[in-house]
Structure 1
Amino acid sequence: MLQLTEWETSASLTLNSSQRHALETRFEAVVRATGHGDEVTVRPSGVVGSVTVSGVPIVVRPKIPIDRVLFMTAYAADPFRWEENWSAIAGVDDLGDGMAALFVAACRRTLQRGLLRSYRTVDADLPMVKGRVRWNVQARRLAPLPVASRFQVHDDDITENRILREALAVLRHSRLTDPALAAGVDRLWRSLEHVRPLREPLAALDAITWTRQNEHYRQVLGLARVVLENSMADLAGGTVGTVGFTLRLHDIFERFVRTALREAVALTETEFPDSWRGKGLSLAESGQIPLVPDLGVRVGGQWRFVGDVKYKRDDGSGHEGDLYQLLAYATATGLPEATLIYAQGPRARTVHEVRHAHKRLYVRHLDLSASPQEVLNQVHALAERVNTRQDIELPTDAWF
């Protein structure tokens, strides 16, 4: 086994081409020659997890406890019910097992009252008329049978369950170290294997409309998205199963901070969206310098808050490139201030007054090694900047 830690340079190693390719592409690692034969050093970035290449497991561990990574994942999926899953992941020491445990726990709770059922439209050729005849198809046939029919059925073979099936298929082919957890995945699989496979589950997930009928599936499908986005095929064979699972911690951290801030100030996803990509924010009047902040609040057509999230360590004052980016956001939105949030650094607050620009840049840091509730309390303190820009008064008990 090759075991590494994010952002730490390894001792000298000897790698084959497949292993090096996996480290550079999947873990975004920097591989440098040492000058001693074929030996190299490896410095992974903020991508953690494990893959198996040429029969050798490659594991990159996060610097923070693995259960904190899973806590952020669970909270981003459902900020109201994350604590129900904490017992399944507290103290877990393997990312793949932890993600599977989190997903299995959410599935069991969601499906305890049975699989969701709904109406769906079926097109089929039948020996008799059922529902409506598809005349555009039937008219081109020489024989009267079969009849091209379209009808509705009410069953559990629907998009939501088909997405769960695909996520469970991924986990079944993962190399879970806990036999009890693998058995739990198999039991869930048997309850869903009868539904049809889904060719593009992530696209289908994006297209789901949430209603009172399927709202209770929101958390488990959010976790299914994480499983499906971060699984990978065998790098050696290319098409054999799924033997790797990784998480890009910048994405996990960004989703967590945005969700926690949104809940802290009770905003909708329209006012505080997941992405500002393609929504017209630009540094130039011509629109030729588009900007995509990680955090942004706009209410009634007016910007109220803008900020950025960086999964990196900072000494307290902020990295120059990050501050220039933050200044561009404040300038483009017309706001007098913007906030930069780092994943690690001193708890002391830093404020930069920008010369001649009349802009104020706030630099804040979270301690992700703290307990989940303490991490949430830290985000609550950051929400003061959002409150100020919104000019709303938040009750003292509005957080949790």
Structure 2
Amino acid sequence: MTDPPVDLDELNTKGVRRQLDDHIASALSSTGLVDVRPDGGNWWHLIPTGKVGAVRIGDLDVQVRPKTGIARLLFLLGYALDPGFRPEDVTAVAEPDLWPALAESLIRQAERALAPGVLQGYVSVDEALPLVRGRIRFADQFTRRPGMLLPIEVRYDEYAADIAENRILRTALRRMAAVPRLPARARARLTHLDGRLDGVQVLPARTPLPSWRPSRLNERYVAALRLAEIVLRYQSAEPGPGNLTIAAFVVNMAKVFEDFVTIALREALASYPGHTAGQYQDHLDTHRSIPIRPDVVHLINQRPVAVFDAKYKLEGPNSRYPNADAYQMLAYCTALDLATGWLVYAQGKAPSRRRVRHTGIDIVHHPLDLTRDPHLILADIDRVARNGLDSRMH
């Protein structure tokens, strides 16, 4: 009999007890999704670690649900990778579990991309031929066939489907299809889409993705490629101990939120004079022995004019903003000679502004409601960026 899935909320601090074999407990721990603590005998205590996602190891299913919801999680991931990512790139179907939601989104975008036919382009081919085609690769000819006239090492361009866009898409479809116990219809659609890309190279695991750029020619592929890159960056499906298969999609939400806020602020500030730096490096003291690194600093003529720091906190909705964050921002404002610092949170009540005693420094705590429509979230970021600059420039 298969055990019921372990389904935890991101904010859960108590965890659950589950009976597991040692090798399964070890494999689960290696994914980092939950903290796996021994609890006597074959019992283990599973507690969320601040990461979200889903893991399947043999017959064991563990899911930690993001407080933002799955669709919003995929939007944050996509936008952090590429600010061209749109909310529509994620399926509107409300899936309760991550694997079906991710599979459905990828399938729908891939079907739209491939509906008019498989995209083709010019690719360079290296071959040994009995005649000259394209350009002779003299270095390879002398190295591999010294003193031989035939065959000839050549390189030529061929119009084919084995291009970067199709390699990324097919590899993501294969990776998704390797997830165990997907709905039968989803698996059949993945297999069909994979067959449409017959002859396209599947990228080996843990290899860099080939580069591509959005253009008029690949426009219909863009949404599918953005989602495919999420799958390839965060999902793995590998053999585990014995005959087990380990499928994992694990995301560090603090890092995702920091990346999202950084990219969104950079986009919002792009129309203003100056430039925006992420992970800005400076020092608190005159001897330059105490480093500081705010998440986002906007500079004009190489001088900081606004500072922002992203804070993904897991306290409950009624929790107060942590004092330590205000101390940190006070240090940033003092070192950068700024009158206002912005702390951007993933949750909280209304924005608040606090003046630090005996200084002219204000610290603003600004919560983002990540459950809102993504367009509204980005509009809120725009207001933060504008107000951040207005506090110094006007």
TM-score, L = length of structure 1: 0.80
Corresponding residue for 1:349? Answer: 351
Whether 2:100 is the aligned partner of 1:89: answer no
Q: How many residues of Structure 1 are paired with residues of Structure 2 in the alignment?
A: 384
Whether contact under 8 Å (2:269, 2:276) holds in the other structure is: no
Residue in 2 that maps onto 1:50: 54
Contact 1:339/1:362 (CA < 8 Å) preserved in 2?
yes
Q: Which moved more, 1:187-196 or 1:74-83?
A: 74-83
Matched, 1:5 2:28: no
Could you tell me the percent identity over the aligned residues?
30
**RMSD between superposed Cα atoms in Å:** 3.6
- Select which of 125, 128, 133 maps to 1:125: 128
- Which of 257, 264, 268 in structure 1 is aligned with 2:261? 257
Looking at structure 2, the residues matched to 189 and 182 of structure 1 have their Cα atoms a distance apart, in angstroms, of 11
1:386 Cα deviation from its structure 2 partner: 3.8
Q: What's the counterpart of residue 67 of structure 2?
A: 63
**Equivalents in 2 of 1:184, 1:271: separation in Å?**
45
Partner of 2:170: 165
Shift in Å, 1:210: 5.5
Name the residue aligned to 2:384.
Answer: 382
How big is each residue's C-alpha offset from its partner over 1:225-250, in whole Å with a ceiling of 9 and x where there is no partner? 22112112346338976622233322
Q: Which letter maps to 1:57?
A: D
Contact preservation (8 Å) 1:316, 1:350? no
Task: Give the equivalent residue in structure 1 for 2:196.
Answer: 191
Alignment gaps of 5+ in structure 1: 393-400
Q: How many angstroms does 1:179 deviate by? A: 2.9
TM-aligned CA deviation for residue 201 of structure 1 = 6.8
Q: Distance in 2 between matches of 1:224 and 1:287?
A: 43
Aligned equivalents of 2:287, 2:197: Cα separation in 1: 52
Deviations 1:340-359 (A, max 9, x none): 1222222x222233456643
Shift of 1:44: 0.2
Does residue 41 of structure 1 match 2:42? no
- Aligned partner letter, 1:253: F
Question: 1:124 Cα shift?
Answer: 1.6
1:17 aligns with 2:22: yes
Once the two structures are superposed, what CA deviation does each residue of 1:177-217 show, in whole Å capped at 9, x if it has no partner? 33332233222211224112323676235x54555655665
Query: Retained in 2: the 8 A contact 1:70–1:89?
Result: no
Q: CA offsets per residue over residues 309-351 of structure 1, 9 Å max, x none? A: 22224556522343344344434544332211222222x2222
1:128–1:183: structure 2 CA closer, same or farther, 3 Å change rule? same
- 1:183 and 1:249 mapped to 2: Cα distance? 32
1:107 is aligned to: 110
Query: Which of 310, 315, 323 is 2:326 aligned to?
Result: 323
Following the alignment from structure 1 to structure 2, what is the Cα–Cα distance between the partners of residues 202 and 308? 32
Deviates more, 1:57-66 or 1:125-134: 57-66
Give the Cα–Cα distance (whole angstroms) in 2 for the partners of residues 316 and 2 of structure 1: 27
SS of 2:241 mapped into structure 1:
coil
Q: Structure 2 CA distance, aligned partners of 1:389 and 1:176?
A: 54
Give SS of 1:139's match: helix
Q: Distance in 2 between matches of 1:354 and 1:239?
A: 60
CA displacement, residues 16-44 of structure 1 (integer Å, 9 cap, x when unaligned): 3344434544245344566x666453320
CA distance in 1, matches of 2:344, 2:235: 28
Tell me if 1:359 matches 2:364: no
